[in-house]
Amino acid sequence: MDVRDSSGVRLTDYVFATNHGGLFHPMDTVMSGVLGLEFVGYIVLVTTAVWLIGYAVSFQWLDPFGRALTGVADNLTGQIATPLTLVTAAAIGAFFVAWFIVRGQPAKATMQIVAMVGVALLGPVFLAEPLGDVLSSHGLLAQGRDLGIAVAAGLNGNSDANPRQVVATMQGDLADNFARRPLQVWNFGHVVDESPRCANAWSAGVRSGDDSRVIDGMRACGDIAAHDEANDPSWAQVGSGLVLLLCGMILLLFGAYLAIKIVWAAMDSIYHGFMAIFGFAAGGFIYGPTQTFLIRNLVDGFVAAGRMAAYTIFLGVYVLFLGNLFQQAQGQVMVVLVLGAIVEIIAILQLRRLARSLSHGNDWIANRFALAMQTGGSSKGAGAGGGTALGMGTMGASQSMSGIKMMALMGGLSTVANSPLTEWALGGVQGSFRPGARRRDRMSRMQSGFWNSPGIGGPGGTYAQSYMKFRQFVMGAREAAMEFGGRNTYRGAAAALRGVKDFGGTRADFLGALRGARFTDDRIMALSTLARGIVDDNSEDETLGDKHLGHVVAAVQEAQRQAYRLVNGHGSAEEVAASFGALEQDALVFRRANYGGVRLDGGADWGPERAIVTDYMNNPTREKIIALREVRDGVHTSTAPAPAHATTRMLTGIDADQAGRMMDWIGNEHAYQLDDAVKALMRDPTNQQLLRNVRMQAVRATDTDQWVSGAPRTPWNNLAPPDSRTVLDPNRWARRMAGVERLLR
């Protein structure tokens, strides 16, 4: 912000010089810390307020607006101000001229001709640079600001009306009165600037940033009282700091309110400049509200200059008054600060009154111009009694049935038609005067009889009960989401959708359930629902015996497809996170369906049953699982000769019940290992090997399922990686998947 006082010292360089205590003076340490916090808050408030006032008056904020809005206005003019539009609008305006002549109103016809000629002459000039009069360095806003600054500079005894210099002078005076002198009184008990030598010593110490140098400077310049006060922090200084914070907050409130008023006035003028484009392009040729609308926009542009001048003069008077108030105080800064805060509150109220007066004046001027044009300059409509122009916000009362009388008549009819007494007199029919009222009343009575019948309507009726399922969906979504990341996370959304499906919900219920569970991020909800739908659709094509495993296979395919797209520079981290969330939930459901609880070898740690299943899990083959299935199905028994194949000789002595338990254990173990691999991937998606581990475990589970069920393997339920390069560059993989890791935390 670079706000400086009159001595050129930046407010952000100010320090509160005090004794910071030590091991043997703990109270001084505590008080110096509290004083430091108060000082930081006060300097932030005062610096922001002083900068905000200067920034608003300097109009530096208008430059970026001007560059952007000028291009928009030029493009708008090119689209609207076409020859066809001008000819059409002029033809409509000429119709009104003919109409007035036929009605015997030559004055109105003449004023309409003058208005059309004026719009035709001024329109090309205005449309050539629509916002030039508002935003240019010589425009109305800038001229009004310069006039106000000239008056404010004269009030403060400055003959140079250069805006940049005057604004800097205003900021310097505000910085002295609200920062420099109050800080000196707060820190030393009095204003040290009264001594030029001490003022220079304080400024030099502050610029150095060393508060000990500030204290030593007070002793060097002969102000022993200031030196002693700074070395002895007290709770009285803490109380003074609270008062200063309150005063600084009120100053900031005044600065913010003044800046908002100035910016608002400028934006209002720019808005009316845009609206004037429509007026000069077409509306100004047409008699009535559109013509009045153009007049209002033009008047507001000129009044905006008056607003700028009035606000700037108001600020100059305010700064002058505060400066004189501090000069008359003769060092009693704290008293003046309290009075200044009261003055600022009054100034805010007075500024609001000034703004309302300017707005009323703007409306009055625009109304005078519009009345003069629409009455043809006759005294009938523009006399001392005045009137209201069309389009100015109030309808004229002189129109017979098309004005207030017509509105009053229609309002009375509406009141009578909708009165309860009228409905009672006509048999209780609502809206009795409306077409089809009796038919609608009969339909309403029939429906009311059905919904009020016992067992249908009401809290315990079947109609209300039919909607209870949606409460279940929301409850399932909310509870599941809290287990996996919570609301507005990809893992939480995937879990919520799984919770909805657990209660029997379908894809049509997903969005409503997520909203009910207080999800608000539309992108998370959309991508998670899309990923869930893709996996569910693809799982229908899987030829596996276990449908839960089919969902896992489809989820693995979708997850690796999205991951490889992202690594190759085509996808997004959000899509990968959504597909990984769906994979995590499908692995959980598969694990939940094959939870375990199978005891092998009578509960012993090791035995022939565990040896067989461990051998299979370490090296699964089709021959092993087929042999085990045949024992379970009774094709081979413990008394039958053992098969000749080496992989089945271990089954000698195993009966059908044992084989069944062993196959259940194998299925549960596949679910365990697959779920563990998915959990590891979710913890670190930047490790490509973890995704390959998930694919390997899914392949093992599908092999076992297809070997046992005899389901054929098709080209489409294949879990090969989608990229021909099975191992991509690890560094690129980790770099691209880092965003996915952040989304899954």
Q: Which residue ranges make up each domain of the chain? A: 11-63+138-374
pLDDT at 279: 72
pLDDT at 399: 39
pLDDT at 525: 93
Give the three-class secondary structure for 128: helix
pLDDT at 273: 75
Matching residue, tokens 């809005």 = 69
Cα–Cα distance measured from residue 272 to residue 268, given in angstroms and rounded to the nearest whole number? 6
For 675-687, what is each residue's pLDDT tens digit?
A: 999 999 999 999 9
Matching residue, tokens 């033809």 = 91
- Residue 289 sits at φ, ψ, to 5 deg, of -60, -35
pLDDT at 402: 47
pLDDT at 368: 65
For 161-210, what is each residue's pLDDT tens digit?
A: 677 777 777 788 888 888 888 888 888 888 888 888 999 998 999 998 88
Checking if the pLDDT of 382 tops 60, the result is: no
Checking if the pLDDT of 122 tops 50, the result is: yes
The proportion of the chain whose per-residue pLDDT surpasses 70, expressed as a percent, equals: 72
For 391-427, what is each residue's pLDDT tens digit?
A: 444 434 333 444 555 655 566 656 666 666 666 665 6
For 318-335, what is each residue's pLDDT tens digit?
A: 776 777 776 666 656 677
CB 292 within 8 A of CB 390: yes
Matching residue, tokens 């008990």 = 189
Other C-beta atoms lying within 10 Å of the C-beta of residue 411: 10
Other C-beta atoms lying within 10 Å of the C-beta of residue 536: 18
In this prediction the pTM is 0.45
What the block records as the tokens of 491 is 């893992």
Checking if the pLDDT of 603 tops 90, the result is: no
Amino acid at the residue 534: I
Cα–Cα distance measured from residue 465 to residue 458, given in angstroms and rounded to the nearest whole number? 10
Cα–Cα distance measured from residue 395 to residue 405, given in angstroms and rounded to the nearest whole number? 11
Checking if the pLDDT of 390 tops 60, the result is: no
CB 616 within 8 A of CB 625: yes
Matching residue, tokens 């009159």 = 6
Checking if the pLDDT of 737 tops 80, the result is: yes
Q: Which of 279, 215, 259 is nearest to 80 (CA)?
A: 279
Higher pLDDT, 582 or 60: 582
Checking if the pLDDT of 618 tops 80, the result is: yes
For 24-71, what is each residue's pLDDT tens digit?
A: 677 778 888 888 898 898 889 889 888 888 888 777 777 776 666 666
For 72-115, what is each residue's pLDDT tens digit?
A: 766 666 666 667 666 777 777 777 778 878 878 787 777 778 77
pLDDT at 253: 79
- Give the distance from CA 235 to its chain's centroid: 43
Q: How many helices (H) and strands (E) does the chain have?
A: 30, 0
What the block records as the tokens of 460 is 């315990």
Look over the chain and give the mean of its residue pLDDT values, rounded to a whole number: 77
Q: What is the DSSP string of 12-60?
A: GG--------BTTBHHHHHHHHHHHHHHHHHHHHHHHHHHHHHHHHHTT
pLDDT band at 136, cuts 50/70/90?
low
Contacts of 288 (CB under 8 A, 6+ apart): 374, 390, 391
**Rg (alpha carbons) of the chain, rounded to whole number:** 42
Checking if the pLDDT of 483 tops 70, the result is: yes
Amino acid at the residue 729: D
- Residue 10: strand pairing partners: 4
For 462-482, what is each residue's pLDDT tens digit?
A: 555 666 778 888 988 899 899
Q: What is the DSSP string of 299-355?
A: HHHHHHHHHHHHHHHHHHHHHHHHHHHHHHHTT-HHHHHHHHHHHHHHHHHHHHHHH
Other C-beta atoms lying within 10 Å of the C-beta of residue 175: 25
Instruction: Give the least confident one: 15-24, 462-471, 620-629.
Output: 462-471
- Residue 4: strand pairing partners: 10
pLDDT at 649: 63
Matching residue, tokens 């194949």 = 645
pLDDT band at 657, cuts 50/70/90?
confident
Give the three-class secondary structure for 701: helix
Q: What is the DSSP string of 537-554?
A: HHHTT---S-HHHHHHHH
Instruction: Give the least confident one: 15-29, 226-240, 506-520.
Output: 15-29
Instruction: Give the least confident one: 95-104, 117-126, 498-507, 687-696.
Output: 117-126
What the block records as the tokens of 166 is 């005057």
Checking if the pLDDT of 9 tops 80, the result is: yes
Checking if the pLDDT of 716 tops 60, the result is: no
pLDDT band at 526, cuts 50/70/90?
very high
Cα–Cα distance measured from residue 556 to residue 720, given in angstroms and rounded to the nearest whole number? 10
For 433-450, what is each residue's pLDDT tens digit?
A: 566 666 777 777 666 665
Q: What sections of 59-194 are H helices per DSSP?
A: 62-80, 83-102, 106-128, 132-135, 140-155, 163-175, 181-188
Other C-beta atoms lying within 10 Å of the C-beta of residue 89: 21
Highest mean pLDDT among 52-56, 285-289, 558-562: 558-562
pLDDT at 642: 46
Q: How many CA atoms lie within 13 A of 108 on its CB side?
A: 22
pLDDT at 427: 60
Span 525-546, average pLDDT: 87
Instruction: Give the least confident one: 70-84, 345-359, 562-576.
Output: 70-84
Cα–Cα distance measured from residue 461 to residue 484, given in angstroms and rounded to the nearest whole number? 36
pLDDT band at 701, cuts 50/70/90?
very high
